Amino acid sequence: MKGIILAGGAGSRLKPLTSAISKQLLPVYDKPMIHYPISTLMLAGIRDILIITTPQSQATFRDLLGDGSRIGMNFTYAAQAEPRGLAEAFLIGKDFVGNEPSALALGDNIFYGAGLGAQIRAAGAVTEGAEIFAYDVKDPERYGIVEVDETGRARSIEEKPENPKSSLAVTGLYFYDNQVVDIASDVQPSERGELEITSVNQAYLEQGKLNVTQLARGSAWFDAGTFDSLFDVSQFIQAIEHRQNFKVACLEEVAWREGLISDTELDKLAEEYVNGFKPYLKSLIGA
CATH at 70: 3.90.550.10
Is residue 274 in some structural domain? no
Is residue 179 in some structural domain? yes
pLDDT tens sequence across 47-104: 999 999 999 999 999 999 999 999 999 999 999 998 899 999 999 999 999 999 999 9
In this prediction, residue 133 has a pLDDT band, given cuts at 50, 70 and 90, of: very high
Is residue 106 in some structural domain? yes
54 neighbors 83 (Cβ within 8 angstroms) = no
Is residue 141 in some structural domain? no
* pLDDT over 80 (residue 35): yes
Average confidence (pLDDT) over 258-274:
98
Is residue 163 in some structural domain? no
Structural domain of 21: 2-131+171-249
Is residue 94 in some structural domain? yes
Cα 242 to Cα 247: distance, rounded to the nearest angstrom: 9
Q: What is the pLDDT of residue 243?
A: 95
Is residue 140 in some structural domain? no
With CA atoms as reference, report the closest residue to 109 among 9, 224, 240.
224
How many other CB atoms sit within 10 Å of the CB of residue 86?
Answer: 23
Domains contained in the chain, number: 1
Q: What is the pLDDT of residue 151?
A: 86
* pLDDT over 90 (residue 217): no
Give the long-range contacts of residues 250-255, CB within 8 A, separation 24 or more.
250/31, 250/35, 250/39, 250/277, 250/280, 250/281, 251/35, 251/38, 251/39, 251/42, 251/71, 252/71, 252/277, 252/281, 253/281, 253/284, 254/39, 254/42, 254/43, 254/71, 255/42, 255/71, 255/72, 255/73
Cα dist from 189 to 84, 95, 194, 252, whole Å: 9, 22, 5, 40
Cα 249 to Cα 246: distance, rounded to the nearest angstrom: 10
pLDDT tens sequence across 148-193: 998 888 999 998 899 999 999 999 999 999 999 999 999 999 888 8
Judged by DSSP in three states, 192 sits in coil
Q: What is the pLDDT of residue 263?
A: 98
In this prediction, residue 26 has a pLDDT band, given cuts at 50, 70 and 90, of: very high
Q: What is the pLDDT of residue 9?
A: 85
Is residue 90 in some structural domain? yes
User: What letter represents residue 55's amino acid?
Assistant: P
- Tell me: cis bond preceding 55? Omega within 30 of 0 counts: no
